[in-house]
C-alpha cells in the first residue's frame, strides 16, 4: 500500500511502512515487522515507540517477548483532526499578529529601497503585488510595452482581467509593434497609446503609488525586475510618463 497519505499527515516514511505492515500481518514481533515493512531491524523498536506515543501501536508481553499490534485505522483520523485543530490554533494566533507585522512592514517600506527579482517568477511576484495593493479608482502607469507571447502574454492577459475586476485604472504606452499584444489585454479600465514608429524603449517602466518597477530582458533572454520604493523616484517617472503620453499616438 502507498505510504504517501500517511506521510502527508505527519508520519515519517519508516513509521508509515511499519504501521501498514502491522495492519497487514496483525500482532507480531519485531523480526516479521522488519521483514514485511522493509525497515532495518535496528530502527524498528525506535519507530514502534514513536507510533505507540501517537496512539497507533500497542503491545502485549507473551512470555518475555513484546508482541506489537496496530491500533484501529480510525485512530489515523484522530491524528488528522489533531493536526487540523493545531493548524486552526496557529492560524488564530498568526491572525492576531498580522496587523502588527503589516504595520512594521509598512513602516520599513517607507524608506527608499530597491529589490531585484529574476526570471518569470520574479516578474510575477512584483506584478501580483500590484494586484494586492491597488484599489478601485487608483492608477498604474506603464511605458514601453513590447510585443509579448507565451507565458508572459498569458500572465498579463490574466493580470488585466483581474485589474478590470478590481477596477483600478491603467494608462499604458505600448511600442508601435505591440498592437496585437495591446488588443488582447484591453478592457474598459485600461487606456492605451503607442510610441511613434521606430521608437522602442529598452525596458518597461511601471509606476504606481511610491513604487517604480523596471523590467529588463538581457540578450540571453533573462528577465530582471527591479522594484524601487521611493516617492521621489515614482514622482519623477510619473512626470516622464506625462510627457511621453502627450507625444504618444492614440
User: What does the block give as the cell for 166?
Assistant: 478590481
Task: Tell me how far apart the alpha carbons of residues 119 and 222 are, in angstroms, rounded to a whole number.
Answer: 6
Task: Tell me how far apart the alpha carbons of residues 226 and 31 are, in angstroms, rounded to a whole number.
Answer: 61
- Domain 4-75, what architecture? Orthogonal Bundle (1.10)
Task: Tell me how far apart the alpha carbons of residues 237 and 224 are, in angstroms, rounded to a whole number.
Answer: 19
- pLDDT recorded at residue 207: 93
CATH homologous superfamily for 111-247? Answer: Endonuclease Chain A (3.30.870.10)
How many CB atoms are closer than 10 A to CB 142?
Answer: 20
User: What does the block give as the cell for 230?
Assistant: 521611493
- pLDDT recorded at residue 111: 61
> Where do the CATH 3.30.870.10 domains begin and end in the chain?
111-247
Beta bridge partners of 204: 215
Distances (CA, A) of 128 to 22, 24, 125, 151, 245: 49, 49, 5, 15, 25
- pLDDT recorded at residue 159: 92
Compute mean pLDDT per 10 residues along the chain, 250 residues long, and list them. Answer: 76 87 86 88 88 85 85 80 86 89 75 79 89 92 86 90 92 87 88 81 86 79 85 90 85
CB 16 within 8 A of CB 38: no
User: What does the block give as the cell for 35?
Assistant: 521483514
> Where do the CATH 1.10.10.10 domains begin and end in the chain?
4-75
- pLDDT recorded at residue 112: 59
Distance linking the first and last C-alpha atoms of the chain: 65
Grid cell 530597491 — which residue? 114
Amino acid at each position: 500500500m502507498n505510504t504517501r497519505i500517511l506521510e502527508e499527515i505527519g508520519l515519517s516514511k519508516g513509521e508509515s511502512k511499519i504501521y501498514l505492515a502491522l495492519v497487514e500481518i496483525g500482532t507480531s514481533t519485531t523480526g516479521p515487522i522488519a521483514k514485511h515493512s522493509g525497515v532495518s531491524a535496528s530502527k524498528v523498536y525506535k519507530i514502534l515507540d514513536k507510533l505507540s506515543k501517537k496512539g497507533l501501536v500497542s503491545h502485549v508481553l507473551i512470555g518475555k517477548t513484546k508482541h506489537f499490534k496496530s491500533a484501529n485505522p480510525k485512530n489515523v483520523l484522530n491524528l488528522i483532526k489533531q493536526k487540523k485543530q493545531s493548524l486552526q490554533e496557529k492560524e488564530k494566533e498568526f491572525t492576531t499578529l498580522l496587523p502588527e507585522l503589516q504595520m512594521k512592514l509598512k513602516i520599513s517600506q517607507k524608506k527608499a529601497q530597491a529589490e531585484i527579482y529574476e526570471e518569470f517568477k520574479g516578474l510575477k511576484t512584483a506584478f501580483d503585488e500590484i494586484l494586492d495593493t491597488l484599489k478601485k479608482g487608483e492608477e498604474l502607469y506603464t511605458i514601453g510595452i513590447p510585443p509579448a507571447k507565451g507565458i508572459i502574454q498569458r500572465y498579463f492577459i490574466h493580470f488585466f482581467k483581474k485589474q478590470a475586476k478590481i477596477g483600478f485604472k491603467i494608462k499604458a504606452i505600448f511600442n508601435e509593434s505591440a498592437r496585437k499584444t495591446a488588443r488582447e489585454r484591453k478592457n474598459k479600465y485600461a487606456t492605451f497609446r503607442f510610441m511613434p514608429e521606430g521608437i522602442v524603449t529598452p525596458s518597461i517602466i511601471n509606476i504606481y503609488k511610491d513604487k517604480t518597477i523596471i523590467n529588463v530582458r538581457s540578450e540571453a533572454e533573462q528577465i530582471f525586475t527591479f522594484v524601487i520604493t521611493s516617492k521621489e523616484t515614482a514622482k519623477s517617472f510619473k512626470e516622464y510618463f506625462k510627457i511621453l503620453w502627450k507625444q504618444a499616438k492614440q
